[in-house]
Amino acid sequence: MGLNRLKESPHRRYNPLTREWVLVSPQRTLRPWQGKVEKLPTDEQPAYDPGCYLCPGNSRAGGAVNPKYSATFVFDNDYAALRPDVAELEINDRDLIIAGSERGLCRVGCFSPRHDLTIARMSLQELRLVIDMWSAQYDELGALPWAQHVQVFENRGAMMGASNPHPHCQIWANEHLPNQATREQAAFREYGEKHGSCLLCEYMQLERGRERIVCENDAFIALVPFWAIWPFETMLVSRRHVGSMSELNDGERDRLGEIMKQVTTRYDNLFEVSFPYSMGFHQRPTDKRSHPEWHLHAHYYPPLLRSATIQKFMVGYEMLGTPQRDITPESAAERLRQLPALHYRDRE
């Protein structure tokens, strides 16, 4: 089937990073959409909220008191999902009942003292501090002798389960590679063995100048991947083949902040709401091997489909079979690309 036919015919697309398929049904978007697109009232937050457990100087739910921090602030999660000190355990009953201990460390990172400033509305200087914080956390947690992997992620918005509007991320270090990292690790390694090159370096080459690019600068590109599942899913890829944020130089760190701001601004402008998403960085495992095959990237998975209130659910066929989408990655990219780079709330 020629690439043009992908615009009209139902088809499936392959994700080389996870080695899974997604079904695309572009013909379904040809039907006219007459649903009302609701506009939600602007979600105004104060710069400081005395009831917020992440604001500077406030008490957290566990009783600790936050310092009066003026830039970023990282602390051990008071309700951590994992602990570094668990006793070793291994169970295998006929290869069916299998379990094992899992050491881990969970932290929370506040992006800034400002309760109301999301990534889209932070300055490039403030974003740079966030990137330096992520990079330092990756180095520090990744150096723990048992930590094979560090996951930096952000749940943005109540729809994605974020427990607090104060802009923050979570950082988890784990004893074992998580599922997604295990898949990507195998994909990078095997693609490299077969083709003698990096999967994402090659993919970026293929995408150069094409319709799935949302925005780019000289260190990163943001695109809706060919195999995207979520309607407005995007991926950030570093132009240089580096495995982690700590390998980024000064200029690249600044460019990372800039492209994150551009992507999230377009997201917010799409339905003129603070766009919910889960995002996170996939970086080289920290199992103390070099992993030259790994290529730094970030995934943004936003749930919204047609308006601020209509979200995509992964249910039915998607739970039991294969994820499916209607709006093509190409048309999602086009919509995002055409949105203004200036945040709607910063317009007059």
**Contact footprint for ligand H2U (CB under 6 A):** 53, 60-62, 77-79, 108, 155, 162-164, 170
> What is the distance between the alpha carbons of residues 174 and 18, in angstroms, rounded to a whole number?
20
Q: Is 166 a binder of Zn ion (CB under 5 A)?
A: yes
Among 115, 266, 295, 297, binds Zn ion (CB under 5 A): 115
CB under 5 to 8 A by kind: which of ligand H2U, Zn ion, none does 166 bind? Zn ion
CB under 5 to 8 A by kind: which of ligand H2U, Zn ion, none does 60 bind? ligand H2U
Q: Whose Cβ is closer to Zn ion: residue 49's or residue 334's? A: 49
> What is the distance between the alpha carbons of residues 230 and 133, in angstroms, rounded to a whole number?
28
DSSP strand pairing (104-110 vs 168-174): antiparallel
Backbone angles phi, psi at 238, to 5 degrees: -75, 140
Cβ neighbours around 122 below 10 Å, total: 21
Q: Is 295 a binder of Zn ion (CB under 5 A)?
A: no
State the distance between the two ends of the chain, measured CA to CA, in whole angstroms: 48
CB under 5 to 8 A by kind: which of Zn ion, ligand H2U, none does 241 bind? none
Q: Whose Cβ is closer to Zn ion: residue 55's or residue 171's? A: 55
Q: Is 199 a binder of Zn ion (CB under 5 A)?
A: no
Confirm if 156 and 175 have CB atoms less than 8 A apart: no
Positions marked active-site = 168
Q: How far is the CB of 49 from Zn ion (least distance, A)?
A: 5
Q: Is 282 a binder of Zn ion (CB under 5 A)?
A: no
Q: Whose Cβ is closer to ligand H2U: residue 61's or residue 206's? A: 61
Q: How far is the CB of 54 from Zn ion (least distance, A)?
A: 5
Name the one range near Zn ion by CB under 5 A: 41-49, 59-67, 216-224, 226-234.
Answer: 41-49
Q: How far is the CB of 311 from ligand H2U (least distance, A)?
A: 18
Q: Is 52 a binder of Zn ion (CB under 5 A)?
A: yes
Q: Is 266 a binder of Zn ion (CB under 5 A)?
A: no
CB under 5 to 8 A by kind: which of ligand H2U, Zn ion, none does 239 bind? none
> What is the distance between the alpha carbons of residues 203 and 225, in angstroms, rounded to a whole number?
9
Q: In 160-179, which positions are buried (b, 16+ CB within 10 angstroms) versus exposed (e)?
A: bebebbbbbbbbbbbbbbee
> What is the distance between the alpha carbons of residues 269 and 281, in angstroms, rounded to a whole number?
23
Name the one range near Zn ion by CB under 5 A: 158-166, 167-175, 219-227, 250-258.
Answer: 158-166
State the amino acid at position 220 in one-letter form.
Answer: F
Q: Which residues bind Zn ion (CB under 5 A)?
A: 49, 52, 54-55, 115, 166
